[in-house]
Structure 1
């Protein structure tokens, strides 16, 4: 029971102006709504950029992150093999093509990676949901003359979004490393 008293914020007597407190509650709700809509706009922009990237990659024949070191090495070896006889060039290029994995296929969990646009959508929905919950719970407390300070919602949002974007950044770095090996 003492653990819950430390974790859950205590109610504080509301001795100030009721109107000022309700307006502050509305501003907080609008702030959470603005953050949620910002994440939604970011998700839409990232989704469009991903679509543009796919079109450009397919048009110019590039891999997911541009031409890789494997493609450059393959081109150099093929140029060197053109000077040799046709049989040796065909045999070497077929052996080389079988030895080097395709740039388009990534091993393990990166083949079905979590896109950044979906992460932003999740964070946007979480912001909107938490803002709605916080507004109505605070409204109920303010109507009876009490106040509960917000602590865990902003802490979870800050830590969760920072951690999610760090994990996403590590995923992109690992994908870039695996593609260019």
Structure 2
């Protein structure tokens, strides 16, 4: 079992001809960039979930009214980050295989996917914020209306 694992991790030596070494190092830097971006999304999702947990401990300090939306947003960020790291990993090994074969494939799917996913998250987040604000204003208006009704009833009784 251990020998299979070590064979999997062992890489073959490649001749340093032309720009192969430079291309492999660039591929590693790109992999690290994808990983860094994914970890940023994951960290933001975890931080958002922790803020929500702190809000439950001290609700007067942080006024988060809809914890379900916060959990959805945190899950979306963690999921996006995981997909980003997974794509970076598959892209790295695919690039190594392509470079050994002497070809190169541009990363259209990853770039377009990350852009569309980020825009989708931003749009969904904006909708959640607007919906939450609308609910808060509606609840405040209902509370004011109820207080006015209660005060008018108490005046009538007096």
Counterpart Cα distance in 1 of 2:109 and 2:78: 21
Q: Is residue 142 of structure 2 the alignment partner of residue 140 of structure 1?
A: no
TM-score by length of 2: 0.68
* Partner of residue 20, structure 1: 22
The one of 71, 84, 94 equivalent to 1:127 is 84
Q: 1:152 Cα shift?
A: 1.9
Assess if the C-alpha contact under 8 Å between 2:41 and 2:78 holds in 1.
Answer: yes
Counterpart Cα distance in 2 of 1:45 and 1:62: 14
Counterpart Cα distance in 1 of 2:29 and 2:108: 17
Paired residues in the alignment total: 121
Higher relative contact order (CA 8 A, sep 6+): 1
* Closer/same/farther in 2, CA of residues 180 and 147 from structure 1, 3 Å limit: same
Q: Is residue 136 of structure 2 the alignment partner of residue 179 of structure 1?
A: yes
Counterpart Cα distance in 2 of 1:162 and 1:125: 17
Structure 2 unaligned regions, length at least 5: 1-16, 139-158
Measured against aligned partners, the alpha-carbon deviations of 1:42-86 in whole angstroms (never above 9, x if no partner) come to: 1121111111122222xx499744xxxxxxxxxxxxxxxxxxxxx
* Closer/same/farther in 2, CA of residues 173 and 16 from structure 1, 3 Å limit: farther
* Partner of residue 36, structure 2: 34
Assess if the C-alpha contact under 8 Å between 2:55 and 2:62 holds in 1.
Answer: no
* Partner of residue 57, structure 2: 55
